[in-house]
Amino acid sequence: MAAARIQGLPVVTTENRDAPGPFLIVCEHASNHFPAAFGTLGLPPAAQKAHIAWDPGALGLARRLAANLNAPLVAAGISRLVYDLNRPPHSPGAMAARSETFDIPGNAGLAPAERRRRTEAVYLPFHAALHAEIARRLAAGTPPVMVTIHSFTPIWFGKPREVEFGIIHDADPTLARAVLAEAKARTGLDCRLNEPYSAADEVTHTLRLQATPYGLANVMLEVRNDLIADPEAERAMADGLAPVLRAALAAMSPKPAEKAAV
Amino acid sequence: MAAARIQGLPVVTTENRDAPGPFLIVCEHASNHFPAAFGTLGLPPAAQKAHIAWDPGALGLARRLAANLNAPLVAAGISRLVYDLNRPPHSPGAMAARSETFDIPGNAGLAPAERRRRTEAVYLPFHAALHAEIARRLAAGTPPVMVTIHSFTPIWFGKPREVEFGIIHDADPTLARAVLAEAKARTGLDCRLNEPYSAADEVTHTLRLQATPYGLANVMLEVRNDLIADPEAERAMADGLAPVLRAALAAMSPKPAEKAAV
Chain A: give the shortest CA distance to residue B117, in Å: 9
- Counting as low any pLDDT under 50, the low residues of chain A are 1, 261-262
Closest residue in A to B131 (Cα–Cα): A124
Helix (H, G, I), strand (E, B) or coil at B113: helix
pLDDT value of residue B76: 97
* A134-146 b/e (C-beta count within 10 Å ≥ 16 → b): bbbbbbbeebbbb
CB A23: neighbour CB atoms within 10 A? 23
Closest residue in B to A135 (Cα–Cα): B89
Q: How far apart are CA B67 and CA B19, in angstroms?
A: 9
- Give me the mean pLDDT over the B154-167 stretch: 94
Widest CA span of chain A, in angstroms? 51
**Is A213 within 8 Å of B208 when comparing Cβ atoms?**
yes
Is A14 in contact with A21 (CB distance < 8 Å)? no
Mean pLDDT of chain B: 93
Residues counted in chain B: 262
Chain A: give the shortest CA distance to residue B128, in Å: 6
* B4-18 b/e (C-beta count within 10 Å ≥ 16 → b): beeeebbbbbbbbee
In order of start, what are the domains of chain A with their CATH numbers? 2-259 (3.40.630.40)
Is B222 in contact with B196 (CB distance < 8 Å)? yes
What single-letter DSSP state applies at residue B87? S
Of B139, B202, B214, the CB nearest to A116: B139
pLDDT in tens, B17-50: 999 999 999 999 999 999 999 999 999 999 999 9
Is A11 in contact with A121 (CB distance < 8 Å)? yes
pLDDT in tens, A36-50: 999 999 999 999 999
Task: Sort B161 into a burial class: Cβ within 10 Å, 0-12 / 13-18 / 19+.
Answer: middle
Task: Sort A176 into a burial class: Cβ within 10 Å, 0-12 / 13-18 / 19+.
Answer: buried
Closest residue in A to B128 (Cα–Cα): A128
pLDDT in tens, B231-261: 999 999 999 999 999 999 999 966 555 554 4
**Is A89 within 8 Å of B135 when comparing Cβ atoms?**
yes
pLDDT value of residue A101: 85
pLDDT value of residue A1: 46
Chain B: give the shortest CA distance to residue A159, in Å: 26
Closest residue in B to A124 (Cα–Cα): B132
The pTM for the full model equals 0.93
What are the DSSP E strand ranges found in chain A?
A: 2-6, 9-15, 23-27, 73-76, 98-99, 102-103, 145-152, 155-156, 159-160, 165-168, 191-193, 218-224
For residue A31, give the nearest of A7, A5, A10, A1 by alpha carbon: A10
Task: Sort B111 into a burial class: Cβ within 10 Å, 0-12 / 13-18 / 19+.
Answer: exposed
pLDDT value of residue A200: 87
Q: How far apart are CA B172 and CA B178, in angstroms?
A: 12
Q: Is A132 on the interface with B (CB under 8 A)?
A: yes
Q: Is B201 on the interface with A (CB under 8 A)?
A: no
**Is A127 within 8 Å of B131 when comparing Cβ atoms?**
yes
For residue B144, give the nearest of B2, B16, B30 by alpha carbon: B16
CB B105: neighbour CB atoms within 10 A? 12
**Is A262 within 8 Å of B123 when comparing Cβ atoms?**
no
pLDDT value of residue B1: 45
CB contacts under 8 A, A 207-246 vs B, are 208-209, 212-214
Of B112, B118, B213, the CB nearest to A141: B112
pLDDT at B118 over 90: yes
What single-letter DSSP state applies at residue B143? P
Beta bridge partners of B103: B98
pLDDT in tens, B120-140: 999 999 999 999 999 999 999
pLDDT value of residue A202: 87
Is B223 in contact with B237 (CB distance < 8 Å)? yes
pLDDT value of residue A221: 98
Is A119 in contact with A87 (CB distance < 8 Å)? no
Q: How far apart are CA A196 and CA A222, in angstroms?
A: 8
**Is B91 within 8 Å of A131 when comparing Cβ atoms?**
no
Q: How confident is the model at residue B100 (pLDDT cuts 50, 70, 90)?
A: confident
pLDDT value of residue B262: 43
For residue B20, give the nearest of B81, B70, B85, B74 by alpha carbon: B70
**Is B136 within 8 Å of A120 when comparing Cβ atoms?**
yes
Q: Which is higher by pLDDT, B197 or A176? A: A176
Is A103 in contact with A97 (CB distance < 8 Å)? yes
Contacts of A46 (CB under 8 A, 6+ apart): none
Q: How far apart are CA A205 and CA B17, in angstroms?
A: 26
pLDDT at B178 over 50: yes
